[in-house]
Structure 1
Amino acid sequence: MVPRVVKGGPRLTEYLNAAKAVEPLYGDVQKHVLEKAGKPSDRRQDILHPSEMVKADWCHLAAFHRLRLQVEPAEKRTTTFTRENIFEEGHRTHSKWQAWLKEMGRLAGDWKCWYCGDVFWNDTTPAECHTCGAPPSCLEYAEVPLNADPLRIGGKADGYSPEDNALIEIKTLGLGSLRFERPEFLERYVVDTEHGRVPDLTRLWRDFRRPLPTAVRQTQLYMYLANHFEDLPAERTVFFYDFKPTQETKSFTVNYDESFSEPLIEAAAAIVDCLQADTPPFCNINGRAGCAVCLEFEEQKK
């Protein structure tokens, strides 16, 4: 039997902790998940991902290095069992909402046939594979590709409703998300109890009235790509939010405003120009000194 190997770093620490679990099966599940996470990622490294571009700390120099070397920074390859569990729960939430929309015939996008391997677009739930005629049981929803090839940008929206001219984004909301993106909002609902300071979930969810800022910026970029590069009319994005602590749901609508995306499009064009000229741009986060991410690429190059 080939020995199982998990490389050093945070993942190794998690792996060793899993081996000490009181319940052996629980520990084995954690080790299995971490082993899967340790395999090479299929995430493309030759394109700019909208999810990264919309972050406040998106480094243009790091993006240049990643596109040129086609590898992700080392810190992106570290993970924990908790993080992988969060990702898996997010995938299942997507599948749930997409399944309901498929049943309604309100979901357009790419569909993959597991029988012949073809991927094709359909404006509603297809009755069969367009290529081989395989039944719907062989078809899987492959979401909505949004690409700007001249700018090396590529991403996917969670769905598209032609009837509404709307992209669809499916999100889960947990206390960790709020702690990271809107800590001042979360703190507003923390109360003192006999068990310490805890958030009042009922009031917090009641007053959560708009998508998180990063989600809004990302979907604005998605709509820009849909309208300018995919010939896909996108006047708005409909958000479906699941609140993790209570499983309650909400929906929000964000109208298209391309002024949100214009600086990102200009930055992407500048990075592509630098690639073609083989001249690295300056770090836009920390100037000539560089930031943690682009300096990490410099170390990887060495």
Structure 2
Amino acid sequence: MARGGIKPGPGLAAYLEATKSADILFGAVQKHILVKATRPDGRRQDVLHPSEMIKPDWCHRAAFYKLLNPPPKGPTTFVRENVFQEGHNTHAKWQKWLQEMKRLGGDWYCESCRQTFWDDETPELCQLCSSPLLTYAEVPLNAPALTIGGKSDGYCPEDNCLIEIKTLGLGSIRFEDPKFLAKYELEMEGRGQVVDLVRMWRDFRRPLPQALRQGQLYLYLARHFEDLWVDRITYFYEFKPTQEAKSFTVLYDESISEPAIEGAQLITDALAAGRPPRCNINPGGSCKNCRALDTAGAA
């Protein structure tokens, strides 16, 4: 196989499609990104991730199987990777601003000694080698007793809050809150269906449902397992079509996280017992998430 290629599999089609680009350089960039996406990204496979736990179709049984036998990285596309990178860029921008304001605490990675250290205040130098070459490494939120591991986008000690940074596009609204989006969809003669972006952004006044649940779960982990005194979470939203921004601050409500915590405890107990839990999406049966992972004769 040529150097930098992709092994046979679902990702090969996207890679081959990139080779058809009329612009050689553009095609080369696409292939580079697709190859890069196949490499390990450091995402832990031995923990439950809050971003998965808050989804409506989070299946306890499927999560159990994935922890026992982590699946390989799935296929991707250049568009998807481009979206992910734009999200990373937005995170870095807001984190840099908070760092410049001396309002950011959390983990910091030193580019010189390649070590990570925690600081409640925004440091100017590495605690270990005094280098100024520091990169924000966000806020670890781990609960080993519940097999949960994750990170929040930021921590502002003087405000007693965590930070979540989100980009908002039509796709995310259509997926998470289609009823809200439907109010701004218009039929235009000769143009089909369009969305009134101005009115929609004007009326966007709270975090999307999954982001709300994820933030509350982060607060639960911070308070109960990381000894961080936080009682709220602030969301920074950037609207992709216009680059306008809004913020929302939500107070801690432990009851919102109870279903996810109970599910994590159930999965952790099942791992200790060596027996998969029942499917919580389709009690007495299986759902699309666990059906393919289920083993023959599983209870």
TM-score w.r.t. structure 1 length?
A: 0.93
CA–CA distance in structure 1, aligned partners of residues 25 and 84 of structure 2? 21
Aligned identity (percent) is 60
Q: Write the distance in 1 (CA, Å) between the matches of 2:211 and 2:120.
A: 25
Structure 1 residue 293 corresponds to structure 2 residue 289: yes
Q: Which has the larger displacement, 219-228 or 290-299?
A: 290-299
2:101 partner amino acid: M
Among 116, 135, 138, the residue aligned to 1:119: 116
Cα pair 1:102 1:124 within 8 Å, conserved: no
What pairs with 1:275-290 in structure 2 (closer than 5 Å)? 275-290=271-286
Instruction: Indicate if the aligned counterparts of 1:10 and 1:78 stay in contact, CA closer than 8 A.
Output: yes
The equivalent of 1:267 in structure 2 is 263
Could you say which structure has the higher helix fraction?
1
1:92 is aligned, of 74, 89, 93, to 89
Partner of 1:154: 149
Alignment of 1:1-302 (within 5 A): 2-69=2-69, 71-72=70-71, 77-135=74-132, 138-193=133-188, 194-298=190-294
Change (3 A) 1:41 1:120: closer
Deviations 1:58-103 (A, max 9, x none): 111111112122x13x5x6121111111100000000000000000
Distance 1:251 1:274 in 2: 39
Which stretch shows the higher mean deviation, 58-67 or 206-215?
58-67
Between 1:21-30 and 1:170-179, the stretch displaced more is: 21-30
State how many pairs are aligned: 295
3-state DSSP of counterpart to 1:111: strand
> Gaps spanning 5+ residues in structure 1: where?
none
The normalised TM-score by structure 2 is 0.94
Q: Give distance in 2, aligned partners of 1:288 and 1:44.
A: 31
Asked whether the equivalents of residues 50 and 153 of structure 1 are also in contact (C-alpha less than 8 Å), the reply is yes
Give the match's secondary structure for 2:155: strand
**1:287, distance to aligned residue in structure 2 (A):** 3.5
1:232-278 superposed Cα distances (whole Å, 9 cap, x missing partner): 01111001000000000000011100001112111111111111111
With over 3 angstroms needed to count, the CA separation of the structure-2 counterparts of 1:251 and 1:110, relative to structure 1, is same
Give the distance between the partners of 1:257 and 1:97, measured in 2 at CA. 25
Contiguous gaps of at least 5 residues in structure 2:
none
1:2 positional shift: 4.9
Q: Which amino acid aligns with 1:31?
A: K
Cα offset, 1:220, TM superposition: 0.3
How far apart are residue 124 of structure 1 and its match?
Answer: 2.1
Q: What is the distance in 2 between the residues matched to 1:287 and 1:192?
A: 41
Name the Cα RMSD after superposition. Answer: 1.7
Q: Which moved more, 1:236-245 or 1:191-200?
A: 191-200
CA distance in 1: counterparts of 2:295 and 2:77, whole angstroms = 24
Amino acid at match of 1:16: L
After superposing on structure 2, the runs of 4+ consecutive aligned residues of structure 1 that deviate more than 6 Å are none
